[in-house]
Amino acid sequence: MDKLWPIGARMDEDEELWLGGCAASELAERFGTPLYVFDEATLRQRSQAYQAALKRRYPASAQTAYAAKAYLCLALAQLFAEEGLDIDVVSAGELHVALRGGFPAARVHFHGNNRSAGELAQALEAGVGRIAVDNFHELELLAALTASRGSDRLPIWLRLAPGVQAHTHAHIQTGQVDTKFGFTIAGGDAERALLRAMSAPGIEVVGVHAHIGSQIYQAETLATAASRLIEFAAQMRSRHGFILAELSPGGGWGVPMVEGDPAAPIESFVATLAQAVVAACRAAGLELPHLALEPGRSLVAQAAVALYRVGARKEIPGVRTYVSVDGGMADNIRPALYEAKYTARRVVNRKSQIAERKSDHERVTIAGRFCESGDILIRDIVLPRLEPGDLLAIPMAGAYTLAMASNYNLAPRPAVVLVRDGQPRLMQRRETLEDLLARDLPRGRRFHKYQALGNDYIVLDPADWPLPPSPAAIRRICDRRYGVGADGILWGPCEPAEAATPAVPQGARPFGLRLFNPDGSEFEKSGNGLRIFARYLWDRRRPPGRQFAISTAGGLVVAHVLDEDGSRISMEMGRLSFDSRAIPVAGPPREVIEERITVASRELRITAATIGNPHCVVFVDDETFEVSQDLEGLAKNLGPLLERQPLFPNRTNVQFVRPLDRHTLRMAIWERGAGYTLASGTSACAAAGTAIRTGRCASPVTVQMPGGALHVEVAGDWSVRLTGAVEPVCRGEVSEGLAGECPMPAGGRSPGSCNRSPRS
């Protein structure tokens, strides 16, 4: 393959493209499309070519710095740092990535034409090697920031506009007189800036810098700009004693973009530039300065290939044929912005029958998927006939594509892969739909309230509540006088607490959930809360089917929606355990089965269990209690004492249970962090399992509570399935007085009201 493709790229006899030893179709299948594939060998070869050319052609010290604006991510920063390059950054963001990628701050050049005082202070604090000052405003900011440095002066470059117009697109010319960049030499600003900088006590001007444009093919133009910088330095030496120690003529060397473009060898560019610098210094009587080149495009463009999947096709007889791909101007704005030209090759869909493919060539225009007529990647290219599902590979995609990518039409930005010796490595993951909401804050603080057998929970969706509410806010929201009123808060769907397991239906990613008691404490699991959350998801059509997984701090559970409207839901709650270490219970490892303890001068027999939450079950069916003993009274009186027994280091839920027959229990509950409650799903699971464990009942068990009845099935391995009803109560918006951090006024209503509306 030719000069446009990465080193070692090849097309095989089946029209498969190979990059870095990896098949393009396999990369696309694994990582999706659009996909940007960077070849590591090409990146390293281009880096080494610059360093070697400078060493051969320039007889003094010299260094290559990567112009990060072409494209930067952590892995790329790490690679160029390993190659011994410096790096040129133009923002606080690029500086942050470079430093995180391992670049020593001393090897960082910081450019820009309107940096804030904060950005400059950040660069000073990091200890960057060189700051290129672009204008008088920045010079004054930097002088103020460095005034107290004493003898430890900050080395800077002055960026100059040498008055050289590069032969390139007007949008990427930067060195002529009419430009926003740099101090103009011809108008005298450059000299005035130098004098001001030389008089600043905390600054030392060690060099000058220029950048006249990008995608330049005439090395002589770049050489002319460098010569003008040296001429200026010579004049400033004779007038003001300025010594030129460092010279940065920038970068901007071009690359071929289509087959008809001539090659642009690095060696000849460096040779021409070095020769001009040596000649200009000799003519001016100057010592050779340290030479710093800052290439960007010519380091990374050839290394990357963009892969797109072919989709729709529109034929306009006698006019044009459009073939659309699944990317476009959001990942590569260059054709729309300044008419950049690209070429492409077809990569046949390997699942199709290659023998049946039409090999006829046709002239087509490759269009993107975005809602702009200007979203055209390539106009009028001759290719073999493209079919839906084919891959289209576009070379020279490494520079100023991803760097200028956007979320136009709210499209997630593509994944980026680095390939080497047949091994792909993800450098940047594909953005997700949730990533698109990461910076958004909702207009209102919406809530949805449901009830399940006497338990009522409020669902707060991260779409409206990017962070879980604080404990204070939870207490206000759950307060039944001043707030919405509820037995707890469900915050989700969020990131799952644990990875999906083979038990997850169809391998689907589980919905994450965090659960909070009305006192603001977080707990692990709730049967009623889980069914309410499942109903909330079902109402919003988020699950892929009637069976789906929910991840909690207490483990992974599976929901089963039993009817179309979601009013009856089963939960596979996980396994019940009586192991004291899992619950936990203080003391030696054991099963706590009808263990005797004394509470308030009363001897009780307790059984401890867990199904994510700790539970203490007390059966009211022996000589310890009167036959007519009130379960609710026991729960309210003894429950608080049992909850905080030293036996339970994490506190515990408490159930007082009376068996009615082999398949029916009656129960009253004191809930950890919530107090007396009308119903509890995990309490029902613990009570039913304990009744089976102690021989009082057999599965299935109906557990009757003041809030209603739940159906519990316990399998031989102690896995539990819980079934019950769920129904919506209301929905609305929570006022800032409840949702925020302002305190509840004593003896009065919250500052703001909760607008609750019945569910329609």
CA distance 304 to 44: 13
The Cα-based distances of 198 to 109, 139, 158, 184 in angstroms read 20, 11, 11, 17
CA neighbor of 114 nearest in space, from 99, 136, 98, 95: 136
Q: Look up residue 456 and give its two tokens.
A: 């009522």
Active-site option among 73, 281, 371, 616: 371
Residue at token pair 């030496």: 237
Q: Is 371 a catalytic residue?
A: yes
Q: Are strands 86-89 and 108-110 parallel, antiparallel or unpaired?
A: parallel
User: No. of H helices and E strands in the chain?
Assistant: 16, 40
Decide: helix, strand or coil at residue 94.
helix
Tell me if 701 sits within 8 A of 726, measured CB to CB.
no
Residue at token pair 């509410």: 469
Residue at token pair 């002589």: 220
139-146 CB contacts, 8 Å cutoff, 24+ apart = 139/193, 139/196, 139/197, 139/200, 141/115, 141/117, 142/200, 142/203, 143/196, 143/197, 143/200, 143/202, 143/203, 144/117, 145/117, 145/120, 145/121, 145/202, 146/200, 146/201, 146/202, 146/203
Q: Look up residue 67 and give its two tokens.
A: 């112009």
According to DSSP, the residues that pair with 547 across neighbouring strands are 560
Phi first, then psi, for residue 321 (nearest 5°) are -115, 120
Tell me if 381 sits within 8 A of 364, measured CB to CB.
yes
Residue at token pair 């009123």: 485
How many residues are given for the chain? 760
Dihedral of alpha carbons 512, 516, 522, 528, sign: negative
- CA count, 13 A, side-chain hemisphere, 150: 1
The Cα-based distances of 660 to 10, 496, 627, 701 in angstroms read 77, 39, 12, 11
According to DSSP, the residues that pair with 108 across neighbouring strands are 87
Task: Give the amino acid at 283.
Answer: A
Show which residues are catalytic.
Answer: 371
